[in-house]
């Protein structure tokens, strides 16, 4: 990943942190910005597919989990994730995670493309509950050997 991509991610993370602060949320100190790190495990990446990453251990408590395919659609979600967002599992499966991301908080396509190149990403994300409440989560995501993206999240806060 080049310097330009790191700068884009860092500036986006800074802007998101400013928005979070403006919304009156105070995330726990020490949260990492959205900065991908290189693939681990020494598995070489092919140009046509993202690097394969073994499950990292960045300290995110796996309160909520989700599997997403290459089209950013949910293929599996935990009961706790369904409850967090106020949906039944069958309402989430097949739905794009873009639909559950707060508007104007992330440039999803850019971030997803950078993530697929690196194979790993962590940071904060703003989801939207079924009733419109914004939910701030800390997440860690990686590309599994089967090509699915696995995400683990922990709740940081919720607000209007």
Q: What is the pLDDT along the chain (160 residues), one digit of tens a residue?
A: 555 544 444 455 555 555 545 554 444 433 333 333 334 444 444 444 444 444 444 455 678 999 999 999 999 999 999 999 999 999 999 999 889 988 876 678 888 888 888 999 988 889 999 999 999 998 999 999 998 999 999 998 887 6
How high is the pLDDT of residue 22?
54
| Domain positions in the chain | 3-38+53-159
How high is the pLDDT of residue 127?
92
Task: Give 138-142 contacts, CB < 8 A, sequence gap 24+.
Answer: 138/27, 138/28, 138/31, 138/60, 139/60, 140/56, 140/58, 140/60, 141/115, 142/53, 142/54, 142/55, 142/56
How high is the pLDDT of residue 116?
86
Coil, strand or helix at 123: strand
**pTM, entire model:** 0.62
Determine if residue 76 is left, alpha or beta; phi over 0 gives left, psi from -120 to 50 gives alpha, anything else beta: beta
Say if strands 120-128 and 74-77 run parallel, antiparallel, or are unpaired.
Answer: unpaired
**Domain 3-38+53-159 annotated CATH 3.30.450.20:** yes
């Amino acid at each position: 990943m080049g310097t330009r991509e790191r700068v884009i991610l860092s500036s986006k993370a800074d802007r998101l942190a400013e928005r979070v602060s403006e919304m009156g949320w105070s995330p726990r100190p020490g949260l990492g910005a959205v900065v991908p790190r290189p693939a681990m495990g020494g598995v070489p990446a092919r140009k046509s597919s993202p690097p394969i990453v073994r499950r990292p251990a960045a300290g995110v408590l796996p309160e909520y989990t989700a599997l997403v395919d290459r089209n950013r659609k949910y293929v599996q979600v935990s009961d706790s994730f369904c409850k967090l967002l106020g949906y039944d599992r069958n309402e989430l499966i097949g739905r794009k995670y873009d639909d559950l991301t707060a508007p104007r908080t992330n440039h999803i396509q850019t971030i997803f493309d950078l993530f697929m190149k690196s194979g790993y990403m962590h940071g904060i994300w703003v989801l939207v509950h079924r009733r419109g409440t914004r939910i701030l989560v800390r997440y860690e995501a990686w590309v599994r050997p089967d090509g699915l993206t696995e995400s683990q999240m922990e709740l940081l806060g919720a607000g209007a």
